[in-house]
């Protein structure tokens, strides 16, 4: 049976794991001494990993598995020029958790679903609100369907439509935070936060799971937001933040057009008692450096890409205001227009060097549709 997917995480997006078939494992030992001038060690390691992975997949296939999850790659120096490459994972059976259907003739919801599922399954799908019609969850069995209605059946118990997960492994989880959602509670907003949603999601898979916030985005800013699953990795990330983070990119829609299409803004920022961030004089405050370039322009607005060298509170918002081109929807920092009904700031890329593995990790969040529509 062909593998659905080989996954480094413990779930398969779009699939529901129905049975665990046990650990699959393979290893390859290579001799560095045979490396020639035309073959470097990295190429040999890569070949060894691929061969070990192929054997692991073959093992899973013999068990009639649909996929391998929790895949781990380990390289061990055995001494005497010998290196062992190991691959391990959990073989599982999985089935699609989401199916889409198009209604061809008028009928009731029950009648339609019985064409695809048995009666017991249909009752459970409706009972647990796993059926939607044209984007609306429907549990009424005699709900009337019309030709060209779209039916979605989602049987994934961990599905959370309000949580857009970009990446997840044993230690980290990265989401695409929507605009209007707090990163973490500052007072009475206990439930309406990204922190709470991530915590609920993790606890749905493991009741003892914990989540730790690593950095924040402003409430009205959307995009890449990183969380840690244990305090050790959270502290390593935060304690080495300035050394390991090498890319913080944003897209911003600003009012008007910039005369200078690219440039760097460098000054010091301070915060008032009323939590307004402002450009400080005489060297007071904290150094803030913002690099920007114009990507697109319309009659009244510009789409710019911004990369931060420092990460001060409200930095981009204050710097754009200082140029006389506030971010749309940002009334706090001088905006007079709000054409997309939200603040026009989106964290589209974030990258850092993992403090333990030293791997370069880069995460991207898709450009919001409202941004695209502004510059068609």
- Concatenated DSSP letters for 92-104? EEEEESEEEEE--
Phi-psi map region of 106: left, alpha, beta (phi>0 left; psi -120 to 50 alpha):
beta
Record the tokens describing residue 319, joined without a space.
């710097």
Phi, psi of 51 (to 5 degrees): -65, -40
Q: Do 194 and 212 contact (CB within 8 A), yes or no?
A: no
Strands 150-154 and 98-102: antiparallel
> Hey, which bits of the chain come out as E strands?
15-31, 67-79, 82-96, 98-102, 107-108, 131-133, 136-137, 144-145, 150-154, 165-168, 172-177, 212-213, 222-228, 245-255, 262-271, 277-280, 286-297, 301-308, 345-353, 360-364
The residues pairing with 34 across neighbouring beta strands, listed in sequence order, are none
* Cα–Cα distances in angstroms (integers) from residue 180 to residues 194, 346, 360, in the given order: 10, 12, 30
Q: Do 249 and 256 contact (CB within 8 A), yes or no?
A: no
The catalytic residue positions are: 218
Nearest by Cα to 348 from 308, 320, 318, 296: 308
Integer Cα distance of 56 and 50 in angstroms = 10
Is 6 exposed, middle or buried (CB count within 10 Å of its CB: 0-12, 13-18, 19+)?
A: middle
Nearest by Cα to 229 from 172, 281, 267, 280: 172
Integer Cα distance of 262 and 267 in angstroms = 17
């Amino acid at each position: 049976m062909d593998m659905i997917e080989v996954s480094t995480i413990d779930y398969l997006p779009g699939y529901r794991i129905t049975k665990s078939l046990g650990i699959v494992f393979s290893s390859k030992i290579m001799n560095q001494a045979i490396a020639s001038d035309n073959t470097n060690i990295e190429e040999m390691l890569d070949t060894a990993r691929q061969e070990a992975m192929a054997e692991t997949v073959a093992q899973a296939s013999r068990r009639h598995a649909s996929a391998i999850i929790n895949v781990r790659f380990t390289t061990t120096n055995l001494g005497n020029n010998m290196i062992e490459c190991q691959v391990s994972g959990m073989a599982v059976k999985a089935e699609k958790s989401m199916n889409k259907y198009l209604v061809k003739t008028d009928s009731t919801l029950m009648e339609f679903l019985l064409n695809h599922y048995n009666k017991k399954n249909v009752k459970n799908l409706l009972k647990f609100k796993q059926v939607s019609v044209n984007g609306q969850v429907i549990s009424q069995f005699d709900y009337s369907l019309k030709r060209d209605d779209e039916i979605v059946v989602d049987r994934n118990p961990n599905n959370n439509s309000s949580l857009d997960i970009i990446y997840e492994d044993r230690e980290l989880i990265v989401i695409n935070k929507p605009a209007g959602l707090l990163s973490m509670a500052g007072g009475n907003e206990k439930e309406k936060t990204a922190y709470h949603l991530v915590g609920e999601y993790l606890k749905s898979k493991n009741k003892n799971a914990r989540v730790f916030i690593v950095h924040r985005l402003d409430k009205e800013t959307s995009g890449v937001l990183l969380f840690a699953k244990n305090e050790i990795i959270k502290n390593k990330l935060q304690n080495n933040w300035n050394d390991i983070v090498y890319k913080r990119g944003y897209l911003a829609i600003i009012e008007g057009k910039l005369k200078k299409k690219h440039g760097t803004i460098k000054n010091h920022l301070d915060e008032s008692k009323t939590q307004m961030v402002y450009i400080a004089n005489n060297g007071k405050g904290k150094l803030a450096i913002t690099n920007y370039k114009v990507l697109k322009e319309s009659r009244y607005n510009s789409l710019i890409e911004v990369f931060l060298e420092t990460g001060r509170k409200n930095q981009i918002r204050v710097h754009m205001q200082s140029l006389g081109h506030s971010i749309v929807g940002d009334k706090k920092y001088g905006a007079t227009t709000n054409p997309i009904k939200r603040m026009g700031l989106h964290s589209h890329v974030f990258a850092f060097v993992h403090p333990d593995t030293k791997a370069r990790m880069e995460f991207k969040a898709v450009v919001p549709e409202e941004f695209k529509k502004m510059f068609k």
